[in-house]
Amino acid sequence: MTRKVLVVAHGHPDESPTGAELAAFELFRAMRAAPGWTAQFAAPRVLPRLMGERLAPWGASAHEWELPTGEMDVFLLSQQNLGALDAFAELLRIEQPDVVHMHHYIRSGIEAMALVRRILPRARLIVTLHEFLAICANNGQMVKTGSLQLCSSSSPEACAACYPQRTPDEFAARRRYVLANLLKADMLVAPSEFLRQRYIEWGVPAGHIVMIENYVPLLQRVPPRPLAAGARRAAFGFFGSIGVFKGVRTLVEAFSILRGTLGCEDATLTLHGVPGYMPRDFELWFETAMRQQAPAVRWTGRYGRDDLVRLMSDVDWIVMPSIWWENSPLVIQEALTIGRPLIVSDIGGMAEKVRGGLDGFTFAAGDPRALAETMAFAIPRFDAMRRRDMAGELAGRLGEFIALYGG
């Protein structure tokens, strides 16, 4: 007997090829190929001019659905468009899946879980948490508003201090509402143990949330880049949005220190990505830094999925210097798959993904001098890095998901 899983995401990689969307879509593709299983995929449009008002097939695919969406109450994570909820209910009735795996709820609405429970009471409901959105009203980043200070725990009083227009009682009510809906799932999935522990501290029972890393695309593995005679492994690359929370300033300042270090004058840094959260003072600093440090530092701008293997193969090390609690950054998985060692901040899920001295190194988050020292330390140790069997790891993750589905 063939069983069916419906994978729901908050965007389609055709429009939004980023972490959670790609993880959801790759899992959908893998489940379609898994013996005894079939799968459907559903997501709303991201591009406003393409958004529909009714449930519809996604393009010409017989296995992918376009969900309508609407106005969200971003505080309660609630979908305000009843038509969007009706369309999701219609999809459930049409497909009748044995398993519903929601890879996000931000555009479907937290109420979507109650719909699954009401319409398909026998179906197994799995929800993957990709950040701290349920815990933190500040875009799920657990960073205090008005500063870059990391927030180590959540409470109604602390949250109201960040949002003085709301009372602690409102935040307490928000927590009760969101948690009650999340616990309608048979199991919550955290792609990092760090995120799992944060949700347990917030109120999710430990037995109700399991850690399984995201299922991500398996990219082509490439050999180390060719070196000219006498050259060293001193080409560093950054991939991601160019913004405050991604630690770009820490990286650029660290690179300036590195270039002033004896023997590291030949180091290069290439930044790939589009602007993210850039307050005006950060924007001015970035423009100045790019002028002053050229040509050793280059910013190439936007890149596509088809460019990734080529761009990563041109560097020796991939640096992820984020200053917030990243959960399971896709860039880390991509680098490990391609075969490039990493240098990452020692916080959040980032620190879990890199085996020190094997896959790369960690450094004290937000500290340019510590990063510069780590980069200098890493250069002569490139050949000691070990490549991961990512194909084997992904096969194991798929097995974990199938077991979670009851297969």
Give me the mean pLDDT over the 269-278 stretch.
91
Range of the domain at 344: 235-384
Counted domains in the chain: 2
The pLDDT of residue 392: 94
Query: What pLDDT does residue 153 have?
Result: 83
3-state helix, strand, coil in the chain (%, to 5): 40, 20, 45
Q: What pLDDT was estimated at residue 50?
A: 64
Residues 201 and 266 in one domain: no
Q: Is the pLDDT of residue 270 over 70?
A: yes
Give a yes or no: residue 223 inside a domain.
Answer: no
Q: Is the pLDDT of residue 47 over 80?
A: no
Mean pLDDT of 306-320: 96
Q: What is the pLDDT of residue 168?
A: 96
CATH of the domain at 398: 3.40.50.2000
Task: Give CA–CA dist 137/74, Å, rounded.
Answer: 8
pLDDT for 49 equals 63
Q: Are residues 262 and 113 in the same domain?
A: no
Q: Is the pLDDT of residue 2 over 80?
A: yes
407 pLDDT band, cuts 50/70/90, is: low
> Is pLDDT of 262 > 80?
yes
Q: Contacts by 51-60 with C-beta closer than 8 Å and gap 24+?
A: 53/83, 54/87, 55/87, 55/88, 55/90, 55/91, 55/94, 58/12, 58/14, 59/14
Distance CA 319, CA 238 (A): 5
Q: C-alpha 105: how far from its chain's center?
A: 14
Residues 196 and 246 in one domain: no
- Percentage of the chain exceeding pLDDT 90: 78
Q: Decide if 229 is inside a domain.
A: no
Lowest-pLDDT choice from 46-50, 159-163, 276-280, 333-337 = 46-50
The answer as to whether 242 is a domain residue is yes
Mean local confidence (pLDDT), 70-90 = 91
* Predicted pLDDT of residue 157: 95
Q: Is residue 226 part of a domain?
A: no
24, 51: one domain: yes
pLDDT in the model for residue 17: 82
Contact assessment for residue 31 and residue 339, using Cβ atoms and an 8 Å cutoff? no
